[in-house]
Amino acid sequence: MGLAGPREYRRLSGPGADPLRRRGPPIPMIPTDRFDYPLPAELVAQTPAARRDGSRLLVVDRGARTVEHRMFDELPGFLRAGDTLFRNNASVLPARLIGRRATGGRVECLLLRRDGAAAGPGELWRCLVRPGRRLAPGTTFNVAGGLLSGTVESIVGDGAVLVRFEAAGGESVIGAANRAGEVPLPPYIERKDASRREEDRERYQTVYADPRRQVAVAAPTAGLHFTPELLGRIQAKRVRTADLTLHVGLGTFRPIAAATIEAHPIHSEFYEIPAETQCALFPPLQGRRIAVGTTTVRAVEDFLSGHGAPLDRDHLADASLFIYPPRSFRGVDALITNFHQPRSTLLCLVAAFLTPGSVDGIGWLADIYAEAVSLRYRFFSYGDSMLIV
């Protein structure tokens, strides 16, 4: 389907309009089905590659408009002295808890984030619970034989509830989750073998994840391909790294249900950018600013949309930025990313990055993905990778 007709033109100026999207004439609204594509089920990676850096790497040169097919351990050959890799160092919390009600009924609880403003005993967490209809406010349940006890306090919308937890012996909820929880894999990865779940604790986590920042319910998957050895080779080329933290949420897996991408209610995610990382975003730049993953792009672009210079303090904020064509980019010169789900907001971001300031990247991305499918690339979280320079 092509772009919609002139009656669907929308205003891109006025209060709250993004100046990076205001240049030139107004553009048509973009049908969501332009971000759909056929994908054979067997190409959805269910397990990681034998070696983290043993995945394939599709390299897109935007200037030359060329595509190369390489391996991820060849990445250092595409980097230059002075480049900076910006990474999301969020650590994945084993946030999937299995509990029992007093009646013996099974409860599945997914920790989303702590409500730090709540008063009272224990810890109050925003969660997803199943079976939702049977877990009304006041319902209690136990996890791991009493390691954690939870009480549903209220329904907060968007399918989430507030649960007040108390842990045995005064342990924190995060501490208890690390002992009793499971890694919350994306819905397209099936797990029936318990031994695989133990492997997931290691492999569904980047090697540079900061254990003090165990805040994510989904991994920043573009970083899963790096190994300590590969990072050593990259450092030997005088390529720097700069870390930030974005609390990856489940909204990243939510497909766009609206008819046009502009109508999609984008989710928000909390992020933190240290002062030293902010400095690496601004001149004098010695090389390119290379984002590892779409979560890193979102944090960087959200920060730069409101700041023209580094701050003298760490920056903490919620990113509710929806990046789609024909957006331009302030702080990212190259991108490492995985292959994303059809009709996803992440696919919109990649299309925008292919041809900043234009909608032409939508069709080009469709061609690239079609080639990746024909060459049997592996898709999604445990799949192969793409470098766009």
Q: CA dist 19 to 12, 43, 327, 329, Å?
A: 9, 39, 10, 11
Over pLDDT 90: what percentage of the chain?
79
Q: What DSSP state is assigned to residue 382?
A: T
For residue 150, with 0-12 CB atoms within 10 Å meaning exposed, 13-18 middle and 19 or more buried, which class applies? Answer: buried
Residue 92 has which token pair? 């994945």
Q: What is the set of domains in the chain, with CATH numbers?
A: 6-92+203-388 (3.40.1780.10), 96-180 (2.40.10.240)
The lowest-confidence range among 20-34, 152-166, 297-311 is 20-34
* pLDDT tens for each residue of 121-135: 889 999 999 997 778
Amino acid 380: pLDDT: 97
Structure tokens that stand for 210 in this block: 């900061």
Alpha-carbon span 68 to 60, nearest angstrom: 7
Question: Which class for 152: exposed (0-12), middle (13-18), buried (19 or more C-beta within 10 A)?
Answer: buried
Q: How many CB atoms lie within 10 A of CB 84?
A: 21
pLDDT exceeds 80 at position 21: no
Say how many C-beta atoms besides its own lie within 10 A of residue 50's C-beta.
Answer: 7
Terminal-residue alpha carbon distance, the chain: 28
- Segment 73-77 mean pLDDT: 98
Of 8-22, 98-112, 232-246, least confident by mean pLDDT is: 8-22
Provide the pLDDT confidence category of residue 11 given band limits of 50, 70 and 90: very low
Q: State the Cα–Cα distance between residues 242 and 274, nearest whole angstrom.
A: 9
Reduced to 3 states, what is the DSSP secondary structure of residue 170? helix
